[in-house]
Structure 1
Amino acid sequence: MTTFRKSLLALLLTTGVAAGTFAASAEQPGSGPMGAGPAHEHRHSPEQMRERMAKRQAALHDKLKLNANQETAWQTYITRMKPAERPQRPDRAEMEKLSVPDRMEKRLGMMKQREQRMTEHLAATKEFYAVLSPDQQKVFNDEFKMYGGGRRHGGPR
């Protein structure tokens, strides 16, 4: 195995263990913001997230000032960037029954699924970016400065 692959595997495994530890502690009462209830109470509903994403996409569309030839590429890009349905979290009781290596393997599988989705988003972004003019690319870049390529749920700011 190459050094890069070994490092990537070590990073993925460490991240999986850390994520599992974080998830377990987040489900404990009083572990949310300021100790006030479950950690997920502050999250937005899927409908709210879709609405926010649609507003951001509309704003980006307006800023890019796309020509008629670019509209098809935009529609393809938006379709391909739609977030996948969130997979159901593994049952905590079932996870606790698994051995540590089996839990790590399950987490690694989930990470691979997320990596595949990110790879698909990268391909869609590259294809759309290629049809933009240099000025439009600058606007696109400015919209995605934070986090190196987008916000958490695949939509522009």
Structure 2
Amino acid sequence: MPETHPARRPPGELEASVLAALWAAGGPLTPADVQRDLGRALARTTVTTILARLHDKGAVARTRSGRGYAYTPTQDSPGLAARRMRTELDKEEDRETVLARFVSQLSPDDEQLLRALLDDAEAGTDADAGTDAEPGTAAEAGTGEGGGPR
């Protein structure tokens, strides 16, 4: 009889679960804390590996906690999504085509929102006050000089 294996998780699902636990905590968590918060569904070594990978990607910061580390997210969920978008854009040589195709696929509401954000950035106002947005990035996006969300 053939072995049955559970279906593989979609890419990024474990990282998303670990980040959700960190965001909900509001403070540093050790791998054991994250494992507990996730209902012990994952081995501690798996959680530790995921946290180390997130640290390598810059998504979490770590501080010494006993013999190991405690982790905190470096950005909120929207900030992390913006960072992933920027990383993908940075992989492409033809940024103009990538951005043009991205904009052409926006819904009318999202297109209007993007226009308003670019207008605000051009006017020097911070439409995203109080978040992890980096100053000046939206204005750079409108100039075609390699800007965009970081």
Mark yes or no: TM-score above 0.5.
Answer: no
Higher RCO (Cα < 8 Å, 6 or more apart): 1
Q: TM-score, normalised by structure 1?
A: 0.25
